[in-house]
Amino acid sequence: MARTKLTDEYWHKLSNILRQINIYNKPNLRRTVEAMLYRIRVGCPWRDLPPCFGNWSSVYHQYRYWRKTGKWQKLMAIVTVDYDSEWLFIDGSVVKAHQHSTGAASCRDEAIGRSMAGHSSKLNLVVDACGNPIHVELTGGQVHDSKVANTLMKSTIKKQTQAVVADRGYDSSDIRACVFKHCAESVIPVKSNSKSNNDTLDWYLYRCRHLVENAFARLKHFRGIATRYDKLKDSYGAAIILTCVFIWLPLI
């Protein structure tokens, strides 16, 4: 269970951040956060949390309360406030949605798509110049990457951003116009049927696109991320945020 526990150093960092969003270090807070982390790491149902974490229902209701009050988004904003915005890398990755994640009693779009391969969701991710995750948008697995590209960029591009790097799936005039509007360069190869060519493409920078692939790999070390078990989009999104925060902790 050591991999799912926070070291004293990490907990000291995280507790200071939690205090900024009015989550105070009560006696059971560390155990509660570690229970959430354990559940994401192993991908188990809330009811199957080991007894050492206390009542599973208490952990779940705390997780749900922080989700409803926007604590997770505030936590992510604080952790990523100083990200290296010189280059931004964007991409999408499909994750299988477990059968238990379907059938939510909700009229909202819970970001679960259906295809011949079954149910799935897609993580649309932006990483900074160092390969650290800074923003995630969830969609159904059948949604094309380019559909949420502008939303991703508007949330992350800064004045210092020099380039946005993506694969040819993002080759569209709307996306290039959005990048140009922010005075950045779009390092995106054109499609094979395009009338233009890639003669001016910065291939050196494009090869650094492995940073976003590496970020997906790190996120999917957590079984609760690699396969979606949550019925609600917000619950799965909160799990992704907590995982991103865990990745950021050594750098804070």
Taking only the tens place, the pLDDT of each residue in 185-203 is 999 999 877 767 778 899 9
For every residue of 77-95, DSSP letters joined together read HHHTTT---SEEEEEEEEE
| Longest distance between any two alpha carbons in the chain, whole Å | 64
The β-bridge relationship of strands 227-228 and 87-97 is parallel
Has residue 1 got a pLDDT over 60? no
Q: Which two tokens stand for residue 100?
A: 């238990």
Rounded to the nearest 10 degrees, the angle between the axes of helix 71-79 and helix 233-248 is 30
Has residue 215 got a pLDDT over 80? yes
Q: Are 53 and 38 in contact (CB under 8 A)?
A: yes
pLDDT tens digits along 3-36:
657 899 999 999 999 999 999 888 899 999 999 9
The CATH number for 87-230, chosen from 3.30.300, 1.10.1760, 3.30.420, 3.30.70, is: 3.30.420
Nearest CA-CA partner of 66 in 36, 34, 111: 36
End-to-end alpha-carbon separation of the chain, Å?
A: 24
Has residue 105 got a pLDDT over 80? no
Q: Which two tokens stand for residue 161?
A: 């951003």
- pLDDT (average), residues 53-70: 96
Comparing 34-48, 98-112, 158-172, the range with the smallest average pLDDT is 98-112
How far apart are the C-alpha atoms of 39 and 33, rounded to whole Å? 10
Q: Are 241 and 76 in contact (CB under 8 A)?
A: yes
Say how far residue 236 (Cα) sits from the centre of its chain: 10
How far apart are the C-alpha atoms of 178 and 51, rounded to whole Å? 50
pLDDT value at residue 102: 81
Has residue 2 got a pLDDT over 60? no
Let me know how long the chain is.
Answer: 252
pLDDT value at residue 235: 95
Q: Which two tokens stand for residue 188?
A: 């995106």
Helices (H), the chain: 8-20, 29-42, 56-68, 71-79, 149-156, 173-181, 203-207, 210-219, 223-226, 233-248
pLDDT value at residue 30: 95
Q: Which two tokens stand for residue 244?
A: 């991103």
Nearest CA-CA partner of 226 in 247, 245, 249, 243: 243
What proportion of the chain, given as a percentage, has pLDDT over 70?
A: 97
How far apart are the C-alpha atoms of 13 and 11, rounded to whole Å? 5
Per-chain mean pLDDT for the chain = 92
Q: Are 238 and 40 in contact (CB under 8 A)?
A: no
- 3-state DSSP assignment of residue 105: coil
Domain regions of the chain by residue span: 2-79, 87-230
How far apart are the C-alpha atoms of 76 and 80, rounded to whole Å? 6
